[in-house]
Structure 1
Amino acid sequence: MSTSIASLPLWSATVAALVLLLSIDLVLTRRPHEVGMREALAWSAFYLALPLAFCAGLWAAFGATVAVEFLTGYVVEKSLSVDNLFVFMLVLAAFAVPAELARRVLLYGIIGALLLRVVFIMLGAAALRSGTWAFLLFGAILLVTAAKVMKDALTGRDREIDVCTLPAVRLVRRFVPVTPDYRGSKLLVRENGARTLTPLALAAVAIFAVDIVFAVDSVPAVYGVTQDPFLVFATNAFALLGLRALYFVLQGALTKLCHLNHGLSVILAFIGLKLILHWAHGIWPWVPEIPTLVSLGVIVAVLAVVTLTSLYANRR
């Protein structure tokens, strides 16, 4: 696992590029419209090309090890974020978000999620600097999460959510009035002389609140691949940026991946084991570690297997 490669100019350039992409998205979604398949595919291709180009740049500047760590972390984060799409579908349905506003509310939720991930990444980096016990803690979190994901997948509860019970949504509704209908892409309107939220704002809050749960396992999972906070941030940013376009591409196909959560639980357990072995190796050098390239191969193989078994199950 690598130490940090990032200098202040690299951090600044990456954050500036991220802000620019989000700003362009905000401008493009100013006029709400229903996203068609051709548009979704074009954006998905763009957001897939970005991390691949970034990976190539890392390879050229820092070598193969850093590039492979980034690519592995990106695949982990992307596979976990695909599971987020199931929940996004449920949130949008629960709030009856009009199709032309779906891209806007997902953008708001993802901006909030990015800010939240920065906090989790900083906390994770601080924990790792305080001692090797953090690897054991992160590994235990991932193993417990993997067990829960597998249990929910086997019992059929892996895609259930009641957005009305989310603490963040209940808190907002308690202190701020909400309009009974949508007001275009506005989050806040003035009604009867008082500032009032729209259901679009509640939907964005719900997506942000749900991401808190996902961040608890996704950030430690990427730290299982690399200790570099910059690479962890980059993998999260690239995965989240392409999540909205992927939503519109896969919203029909997602329901057919019936074994996805089984595979995600295996991936989480594998990375949890990798973290625990890394902790143990620091105490007992004879304990083996799992190379990053092996991790990438295992993760890709698991995703391929669950995709094939899901397709076979659907055919039957």
Structure 2
Amino acid sequence: MVATTPAVGSPALWTTSIAVLVGLLVLDFVLTRRPHAVSLREAVGWSMFYLTLPVVFGLFLWGAYGSEQALEFYTGFVVEKSLSVDNLFVFIMLLAAFAVPAELAQRVLLFGIVGALVLRGVLIALGAVLLQAGTWAFLVFGAVLFLTAARILREELGGATRERDVSKMRSVRLLRLLIPVTDEYRGTRLWVRADGRCALTPLTVVVVAVLATDVVFAVDSVPAVYGVTEDPYLVFATNAFALLGLRALYFVLQSALSQLVYLNHGLVLILALIGVKLMLHWAHGLWPTVPEIPTLMSLAVIVLILGVVTLASAIARRRAIRHFPSRSRP
């Protein structure tokens, strides 16, 4: 039950977690200091590492705080990971639109992940303040999730694609109006001196574009996790664990992501489910006879939705190859 579990985040746990998070980010910056194209073997290794961390952390929560807190963490992590996979589609589009060299891709993703962590930290704090102000905050979070689900569904039914003209993004246009941008990349440098004045490199522009999309995803994802747990620490932990492994997961799944044709349909169902869970939780506080959706049931349904999405996408891909074999070739 969302409201009855005691808070997990002690000052010591918060301090330790933030220190570990900063340490991992510094390690990532050190590893990307010398740009190189990431091999599949390297990406798989880091992906396994970042998938093992939340499993071990959930077992720690189970032993230290109880099964309910651990289940809330695992459920929140699955929700965040499924939403972060959708982030990867946008990252792929941005990196392709800016023709980012393979050896610089991981640096761009790292900037994007750091920006996402900062933005979600701010929204997590704001969410905690809203929850302390009253149970009406659950209605706000639920409305955000329903609106997001409706937007995604409208785009899918309207036949909208994930492609967009990056040059029309407000943040990119404003940046190019204010400061000149060089025509080519200069390694990992964000700005250079050109003709006696400061000029940005295309790397800065793509980083700004990634950070701009981080804002949208943060607004969607934080209310989703607050639909699983009210504990700000668990919301922070699920976001951190989901985002940390995003860079490595990008290099593992960049070719396979395009085959998950029904991912957005699954996200619509997941967001709607959590929205209903929030509404029921709010109503239960006023009318105790109104039932709530248990965390374990939420986790089971979310995993089932993701499984069906993956299977349906694989079947659709197989049928497309059978009927249009030439289109399946790169």
2:318 aligned with 1:308, yes or no?
Answer: no
Between the two proteins, the alignment pairs up a number of residues equal to: 316
2:182 aligned with 1:179, yes or no?
Answer: yes
Q: 1:28 aligns with which of 27, 31, 50?
A: 31
Matches within 5 A, 1:215-294: 215-294=218-297
- The SS at the match of 1:307 is helix
Q: CA deviation at 1:159?
A: 1.3
What residue in structure 2 maps to residue 135 of structure 1?
Answer: 138
Q: 2:173 aligns with which of 170, 174, 189?
A: 170
Q: Distance in 1 between matches of 2:209 and 2:81?
A: 21
What residue in structure 1 maps to residue 158 of structure 2?
Answer: 155
2:191 aligned with 1:191, yes or no?
Answer: no
2:68 aligned with 1:65, yes or no?
Answer: yes
Q: CA deviation at 1:143?
A: 1.0
What residue in structure 2 maps to residue 91 of structure 1?
Answer: 94
- The SS at the match of 2:186 is coil
What residue in structure 2 maps to residue 46 of structure 1?
Answer: 49
Q: TM-score, normalised by structure 1?
A: 0.98
Q: Deviations over 1:123-165 (max 9, x none)?
A: 1111111100010111111111111111212323251322222
Q: CA deviation at 1:177?
A: 1.6
Q: CA deviation at 1:267?
A: 0.2
Following TM superposition, the consecutive aligned residue runs of length 4 or more in structure 1 with deviations greater than 4 angstroms are none
Q: Distance in 1 between matches of 2:202 and 2:185?
A: 6
Matches within 5 A, 1:102-113: 102-113=105-116
Q: CA deviation at 1:192?
A: 2.1
What residue in structure 1 maps to residue 322 of structure 2?
Answer: none
- The SS at the match of 2:54 is helix
Which amino acid in the other structure matches residue 36 of structure 1? S
- The SS at the match of 2:162 is coil
Unaligned runs of 5+ residues in structure 1 are none
Identity %: 64
Report the aligned-residue RMSD.
Answer: 1.0
Which amino acid in the other structure matches residue 193 of structure 1? G
Q: Deviations over 1:152-207 (max 9, x none)?
A: 12323251322222222222222222111100011122222222211111111111
Q: Distance in 1 between matches of 2:80 and 2:141?
A: 16
Q: CA deviation at 1:4?
A: 2.5
Unaligned runs of 5+ residues in structure 2 are 320-330
Q: Distance in 1 between matches of 2:165 and 2:60?
A: 43
What residue in structure 1 maps to residue 77 of structure 2?
Answer: 74
Which amino acid in the other structure matches residue 15 of structure 2? S
Which amino acid in the other structure matches residue 230 of structure 2? Q
Which amino acid in the other structure matches residue 98 of structure 1? P
Q: Distance in 1 between matches of 2:33 and 2:310?
A: 36
What residue in structure 2 maps to residue 122 of structure 1?
Answer: 125
Q: CA deviation at 1:301?
A: 0.2
2:173 aligned with 1:206, yes or no?
Answer: no
2:19 aligned with 1:4, yes or no?
Answer: no
Which amino acid in the other structure matches residue 100 of structure 2? V
Structure 1 residues 261 and 158, CA, compared in 2 at 3 Å: closer, same or farther?
farther
Q: TM-score, normalised by structure 2?
A: 0.94
Q: Distance in 2 between matches of 1:115 and 1:151?
A: 30
- The SS at the match of 1:195 is strand
What residue in structure 2 maps to residue 15 of structure 1?
Answer: 18
Q: CA deviation at 1:3?
A: 4.2
Aligned partners of 1:142 and 1:217 also within 8 Å: yes
